Amino acid sequence: MSVIEIKNLTKKFEVEGNTVVALENINLSIEKGDVYGIIGMSGAGKSTLVRSVNYLEKPTEGSVLIDGVNLSSLREKELRKMRSQIGMIFQGFNLLEQRNVLGNICFPLELVGTSKKDAKARARELLGLVKLEDKEKAYPSQLSGGQKQRVAIARALATKPRILLCDEATSALDPQTTTAILKLLKEINETLGITIVIITHQMSVVTEICGKVAIIDGGKLVESGSVEEIFAAPRSDAAKELISGKDIRYTPVKQLETQKTVRIVFRNNSAYEPVLANAVLKLGKPINILKADTQNIGGKAVGEMLLGLPGDDKAAGEIIEYFKESGLTVTEGIINE
């Protein structure tokens, strides 16, 4: 069942007399209980898209439905009530510096008229969930970045939302803290059943926690589907760049001393076979390893390599065919020629 449906959404801004199209004809469906990634480079429009989900940005065209309710049909009071079911966390934490941790978590509950006693009880329950029970009297200035984000997560969960929107929530954190925050979000998804939408420009965040992903490029949805499928065989240029890296993709071919570049993905049994070595021995053709990496996708180790193949089309074709027969996923044209 879709908890979020985005239909033909377009968002335009007027900037100094010019019309800027931030989003164009976006169609997206997010199922209940998903951890859904929306990824794109800076300026792609992904933050505008996530702010459209709770109508902080109202679409110029198209519609957003939450559990089948079209947000454009709601009066302001009804819209505020709907927003209480959509929590949101940000890159900059957005904590109130003059309030301690307990007060920050209580704040959204106060706005909806919850009694102080009940608000504090709920806040302490959430501090247990994010493992900050000993910090309730601390102020934001006394917390680390990871602790601030845990407080922000607890605050976002205060009104028991059905949806949690995360706008670049780990971008300001170091890798170790990012891993811990993503683990916490995954636990929240599994234990509370909350649908989580993660906005990021980091493919590592998507592969770590998300089951599905949408790729935004230039305000357009260029690709969507399961993380595993898109990681294995990206179709759009934006997906290839986000997965394999711009530095590799746009390195001039002459510098690599090769005329054809492919990406191969190892999954299941292929990860345990010396496929690359076997290809060189059997075909007698040189293969250059340009990049190699392993990602954790859905709890499974998935390996990838970017390879430089001989310039001769026939030789390169034989190698690609051998890889496919060996059960590897092969994507051609990673580097622009």
Using the 8-state DSSP alphabet, how is residue 319 labeled? Answer: H
What pLDDT is stored for residue 247 in this prediction? 43
Mean pLDDT of the chain: 85
For the chain, count helices (H), then strands (E): 13, 14
Residue 327 has pLDDT above 90, yes or no: no
DSSP annotation of 114 reads -
What percentage of residues in the chain have a pLDDT greater than 70? 91
Task: Answer for the pair 62, 71: CB distance below 8 angstroms, yes or no.
Answer: no
* Cβ count within 10 A of residue 174: 12
Interatomic CA distance for residues 178 and 201, integer angstroms: 14
The answer to whether domain 2-234 and domain 245-332 are alike in fold is no
- The CATH number of 2-234 is 3.40.50.300
Where do the structural domains in the chain lie, given as residue ranges?
2-234, 245-332
The predicted pLDDT at position 256 comes to 45
- The tokens for 180 are 């811990």
**Mean pLDDT computed over 119-144:** 94
Read off the pLDDT of each residue in 41-68 and give the average, rounded to a whole number: 90
User: 94: which 2 tokens?
Assistant: 């957005």
What is the C-alpha to C-alpha distance for residues 304 and 293, in angstroms, rounded to an integer? 5
- Name which of 121-130, 223-232, 304-313 the model is least confident about: 304-313
Which residues fall within 8 angstroms of residue 28, CB to CB, at 6 or more apart?
Answer: 4, 5, 6, 214, 221, 224
Cα gap 27→189, rounded to integer Å? 24
pLDDT at 248: 41
Spatial contact of 201 and 186, defined as CB atoms under 8 Å apart: no
pLDDT for res 155: 95
Residue 263: the pLDDT is 81
Round the CA-based radius of gyration of the chain to a whole number and report it: 23
Q: Check pLDDT > 70 for residue 258.
A: no
**What's residue 280's pLDDT?**
77
Give the pLDDT score at 252: 43
Strand 35-39: give its sheet, edge to edge. 86-90, 163-167, 195-200, 35-39, 212-217, 220-226
Helix (H, G, I), strand (E, B) or coil at 117: helix
**Which pLDDT tens digit goes with each residue over 306-324?**
888 887 788 888 888 888 8
- Take residue 75 and report the two structure tokens written for it: 């009066």
**Pair 176, 208: CB distance under 8 Å:** no
Per-residue pLDDT, 336 = 42
For 109, half-sphere exposure in the C-beta direction (CA atoms, 13 angstrom radius) is 23
For the packed helices 101-111 and 145-156, what is the interaxial angle rounded to 10 degrees? 20
Domain covering 245-332 in this structure, CATH number:
3.30.70.260
Please state the φ and ψ torsions of residue 178, each to the nearest 5 degrees. Answer: -60, -45
Confidence class of residue 195 from pLDDT cuts 50, 70 and 90?
A: very high
Residue 90 is predicted with a pLDDT of 85
Q: Which residues pair with 31 in a beta bridge?
A: 2
